[in-house]
A = this chain, B = another copy of it.
């Protein structure tokens, strides 16, 4: 249960793009060098970000990447979901077990009979956990992190 390194790279790449926004397009070479990862590998990650409309890519001379939207509209959750996929944290793998019959029949009676897809409390707890995590990650944007970093630095240098 860990985020993949790709997610790590994606986040760092986006931060670099945000910091260099005024410089126009950023080449994959520069990005890869800054992050310390191979160009070929990073391309794959950037492609995903592009396909999901988080960055724009421009081929050709002086081409490269730029953010497709303001950094304060790019949340951690989005980036993570693009790279990691959107599968649920907890997938029932016991749906045909005796136990599931027990726990879900108990549940089924409570709600309307129509509500077939009703799940037991185990799943409900786990889904709650996921929602909790998502809420938190939705509240944090790339811009916020960059801002805080710059503010702190600024606060320090101006004090000295």
Contact = CB atoms under 8 A, between A and B. Distances in A.
Given A103-B149, A122-B11, A152-B107, A84 B1 contact: yes
Contact of A121 (B4, B37, B145): B145
A127 B7 CA distance: 14
Interface residues on A, range: 35 or more
Given A36-B96, A97-B12, A120-B149, A140 B125 contact: yes
B5 A3 contact: no
A115 interface: no
Contacts of A137: 129
Q: Which of A36, A90, A125, A136 has the most CB of B within 10 A?
A: A125
A112 interface: no
Contacts of A103: 15, 149
B99 A35 contact: yes
A92 to B, nearest CB: 7
A126 B37 CA distance: 21
A52 interface: no
Contact of A89 (B1, B91, B93): B1
Interface in A1-46: 1-5, 7-9, 11-12, 15-16, 33-37
A34 B99 contact: yes
A148 B121 contact: yes
Interface in A106-150: 106-107, 109-110, 120-122, 125-126, 128-129, 132-133, 136-137, 140, 145, 148-150
